[in-house]
Amino acid sequence: MRLVLAILFLVIFFIATLPLMLVEFILSKTNRHAMAASSQKIVRFGFRILLLIAGVKRTVIGTENIPVNEPVLYVSNHRSYFDIPVAYLSLPTLTGFMAKKEINRVPFLRVWMRFIQCLFLDRNDIRQGMQTILKGIEQIKAGYSIFISPEGTRNHGEDMLPFKEGSFKMAEKTGCAIVPVAISNSDEIFEKHMPKIKRAHVVLEFCRPIYPDNLDKEERKRIGVYVQGIIREALNRHKAIYEKS
């Protein structure tokens, strides 16, 4: 039943926001930052209703760790389609997501994703992937944060998949902070019992920011492993929170 309601809501949302798409398109021609900010509010509204329909309870930890006066690179583990809605409601900065290129084929969704400055990555084309990373660098320089999941795909194992080091070039080339993000139990919403959507308690934690220039040579060389270790520690702390609910 929740799945049907979620699909119905998304259809209504995309139809109802068609006029707003035109407004945002016009605004983008004069003030791209204003367009991204207003689009982010609209998308957040949609995500908030979607999570309400799904029965998702969120516990958010560490928002005080997010630098609010500068763009950052959010780096997260990835367990569910619901990771983005859960995280996006808590981001204080203008933020676009790094998504797989297949999502760029979805009508209406791709338009809103472009409005909030999302990037689409071809994981099978190294050259195109590098171009996407370069676009991300330019976006960070322009004041937009980027949210990435360096595992490259959703993972439901006990531990995370290895982080792809190339994703961290955006922070290394811009000097922006890396904010590790740990998301726990989100696959209990959908992935563990597809096609049903069930109530779940999701824990999200923003860990302390990391500035690549402050790391020693060895840590910078294996920055993916370093950041993943921080996320792993946070995930281990979360079990005591969501298992109580």
User: How far is the C-alpha of 170 from the C-alpha of 40, rounded, in Å?
Assistant: 22
β-pairing verdict for 119-121 and 177-184 = unpaired
User: How far is the C-alpha of 201 from the C-alpha of 20, rounded, in Å?
Assistant: 32
Summarize pLDDT for 202-231 with one digit per residue, the tens: 999 999 999 998 888 888 889 999 999 999
Q: What are phi and psi of 57, to 5 degrees?
A: -100, 130
Mean pLDDT on 169-196: 94
Summarize pLDDT for 34-74 with one digit per residue, the tens: 999 999 999 999 999 999 999 999 999 999 999 988 999 99
Give the orientation angle of helix 32-54 with respect to helix 2-16, to 10 degrees.
160
Summarize pLDDT for 17-32 with one digit per residue, the tens: 999 999 999 999 999 9
User: How far is the C-alpha of 89 from the C-alpha of 46, rounded, in Å?
Assistant: 10
The pLDDT of residue 153: 79
- From the number of C-beta atoms within 10 Å of its C-beta (0-12, 13-18, 19+), residue 77 rates as buried
Predicted confidence band of residue 164 (pLDDT cuts 50, 70, 90):
confident
The pLDDT of residue 93: 87
Q: Would you say residue 239 has pLDDT above 90?
A: no
Q: Two tokens at 191?
A: 């992935």
Summarize pLDDT for 64-74 with one digit per residue, the tens: 999 988 999 99
Q: What are phi and psi of 194, to 5 degrees?
A: -55, 140
The pLDDT of residue 130: 86
Work out how many domains the chain is built from and give that number: 1
Predicted confidence band of residue 11 (pLDDT cuts 50, 70, 90):
very high
The pLDDT of residue 244: 67
The pLDDT of residue 245: 62
User: How far is the C-alpha of 71 from the C-alpha of 51, rounded, in Å?
Assistant: 26
Q: Would you say residue 156 has pLDDT above 80?
A: no
The pLDDT of residue 240: 74
pTM of the model: 0.93
Q: Whole domain around residue 84: which residue ranges? A: 2-242
Q: CATH no. for residue 41? A: 3.40.1130
Predicted confidence band of residue 7 (pLDDT cuts 50, 70, 90):
very high
55 contact partners, CB below 8 Å, separation of at least 6: 2, 197, 198, 199, 200
User: How far is the C-alpha of 72 from the C-alpha of 238, rounded, in Å?
Assistant: 24
